[in-house]
């Protein structure tokens, strides 16, 4: 949830979420991933520049719950797909989808 809250805060220019002060290993990794993403930049997620610690965090979380630890990679793939879709939709709204619409925006 922290990742999606961070993305939402960046997209809508809102205050970044507060990270849990808990000391469980998953919570520690979330804090590290969040800090690293701040350094990389939230806006760079659309260019697939995402902290690898998100995947590590998801894998550890899955292991602690007894689910498939490999699903951490799925998380990254889902984020990339969502960011790609968002980027394409934004470009369509900004520049149009037909040659005629593109000419109007030139």
The 10s digit of each residue's pLDDT in 46-79 is 777 888 898 888 888 888 877 765 565 666 677 7
Please tell me which residue, 101 or 58, carries the higher pLDDT value. 58
Alpha-carbon gap, residue 26 to 20, rounded angstroms = 10
Question: If we measure between CA atoms, which residue out of 55, 21, 53 comes closest to residue 38?
Answer: 53
């Amino acid at each position: 949830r922290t990742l999606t809250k961070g993305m939402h805060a960046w997209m809508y220019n809102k205050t970044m979420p507060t990270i849990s002060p808990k000391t469980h290993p998953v919570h520690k990794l979330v804090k590290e991933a969040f800090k690293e993403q701040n350094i990389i930049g939230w806006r760079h997620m659309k260019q697939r520049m995402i902290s690898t610690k998100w995947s590590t965090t998801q894998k550890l979380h899955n292991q602690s719950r007894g689910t498939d630890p490999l699903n951490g990679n799925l998380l990254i793939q889902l984020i990339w797909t969502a960011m790609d879709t968002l980027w394409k939709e934004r470009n369509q709204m900004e520049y149009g989808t037909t040659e005629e619409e593109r000419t109007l925006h030139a």
